[in-house]
Amino acid sequence: MKQYNVIVAGATGMVGRKMVQVLEERKFPVGKLIPMASARSAGKSVTFNGKEWTIQELNEGNIKNSGAEIALFSAGGSVSKEFAPICAKYGITVIDNSSAWRMEPNIPLVVPEVNREKIFSGSKIIANPNCSTIQMVVVLKPLHDKYKIKRVVVSTYQSVTGAGQKGYDQLMKEWNKEKIESPKFPYQISFNALPHIDDFTESGYTKEELKMVNETKKIMGDDSIAVSPTCVRIPSIGGHSESVNLEFEKPFEIQDVVELLSHAPGIVLEDNPKEKKYPMPIFAHDKDETFVGRIRRDDSVNNGLNLWIVSDNIRKGAATNAVQIAEELIKGK
Catalytic residue among 87, 196, 240, 285: 240
- Min CB(79)–ligand NAP separation in Å: 5
Of 6, 7, 14, 305, the one binding ligand NAP (CB under 6 A) is: 14
How far out from the chain centre does Cα 74 lie? 11
Name residue 267's amino acid: I
Residues 152-191 that bind ligand NAP (CB under 6 A): 161-162, 164-166
- Min CB(243)–ligand NAP separation in Å: 19
- Min CB(66)–ligand NAP separation in Å: 14
Q: Where does residue 208 fall: left (phi above 0), alpha (psi -120 to 50 degrees), or beta otherwise?
A: alpha
Of 244, 309, 318, 326, the one binding ligand NAP (CB under 6 A) is: 318
Helices and strands, counts by H and E, the chain: 10, 14
Task: Report the distance separating Cα 180 and Cα 19, nearest Å.
Answer: 28
Instruction: Please name which of 175, 98, 88 lies closest in space to residue 129, comparing C-alpha atoms.
Output: 98
Letters for 22-41 (x = contact with ligand NAP by CB under 6 A, - = none) are ---------------xx-xx
- Min CB(212)–ligand NAP separation in Å: 13
Task: Report the distance separating Cα 19 and Cα 49, nearest Å.
Answer: 13
Residues 209-248 that bind ligand NAP (CB under 6 A): none
196 among known catalytic residues = no
Q: Residue 267, SS3? A: strand
Taking each helix axis from N to C end, the angle separating 164-175 and 14-25, rounded to the nearest 10 degrees, works out to: 110
136, 154 in Cβ contact below 8 A? yes
231 among known catalytic residues = no
* 63: contact with ligand NAP by CB under 6 A: no
Chain positions contacting ligand NAP, by CB under 6 A: 10-16, 37-38, 40-41, 58, 74-77, 79, 97-98, 131, 161-162, 164-166, 313-314, 317-318
Residues designated as active site: 131, 240
